[in-house]
Amino acid sequence: MTLSSPTTFRSEKARLRAEALLRRADMGAERRAAASDAAARHALMALGSVAGRTVALFAPFRDEIDTGPLARKLRDAGARLALPVVIGRDRPLIFRLWDENDLLEPAGAYGIPTPGAQAPQVTPDDLMVPLAVFDRAGARIGYGAGFYDRTLALLRREKPIRAFGLAFACQETDHVPAEPHDEPLDGMVTEAGVLFLGGSDADSLSR
Distances in Å between the Cα of 62 and the Cα atoms of 21, 65, 119 are 11, 9, 25
Please enumerate in sequence order all residues whose Cβ is within 8 A of that of 76, keeping only pairs 6 or more positions apart, or say none: none
Topology (CATH level 3) of domain 6-196: Rossmann fold (3.40.50)
Cite the annotated binding site by residue number.
13-17, 64, 140-148
CA 9 – CA 2 distance, rounded (Å): 10
What predicted TM-score, i.e. pTM, was given to this entire model? Answer: 0.89
**C-alpha distances in angstroms, 51 versus 74, 78, 80?**
8, 4, 8
Query: In the chain, where are the structural domains located?
Result: 6-196
- Of 8-17, 79-88, 104-113, 164-173, the poorest mean pLDDT is in 104-113
Phi (first) and psi of residue 184, to 5 degrees? -75, 160
Looking at residue 172, the DSSP 8-state letter turns out to be B
Alpha helices in the chain (DSSP H): 6-25, 29-47, 68-76, 147-158
Residue type, 169: A
Residues in binding site for substrate: 64
Tell me the pLDDT tens digit for each residue of 26-48.
999 999 999 999 999 999 999 99
Distance in angstroms (rounded) separating the CA atoms of residues 207 and 49: 27
More confident residue, 128 or 137: 128
For residue 63, give Cα distances in angstroms to 103, 178, 179. Answer: 22, 25, 27
**Binding site members for ATP:** 13-17, 140-148
Q: Give residue-wise pLDDT tens across range 63-102.
A: 999 999 999 999 999 999 999 999 888 899 999 999 988 8
In the chain, beta strands by DSSP E: 54-56, 80-85, 94-97, 105-107, 112-114, 121-122, 126-129, 133-134, 140-141, 162-166, 187-190, 193-196
**CA 160 to CA 149: how far, in whole Å?**
16
CA distance linking residue 167 with residue 82, whole number of Å:
18
- Computed over every residue of the chain, the mean pLDDT equals 89
Residue 128 has phi, psi (to 5 degrees) of -100, 120
| Bridge partner list, 82 | 56, 97
Task: Choose between 116 and 72: higher pLDDT.
Answer: 72
pLDDT value at 158 more than 60: yes
Of the pLDDT bands very low, low, confident and very high (cuts 50, 70, 90), residue 202 is very low
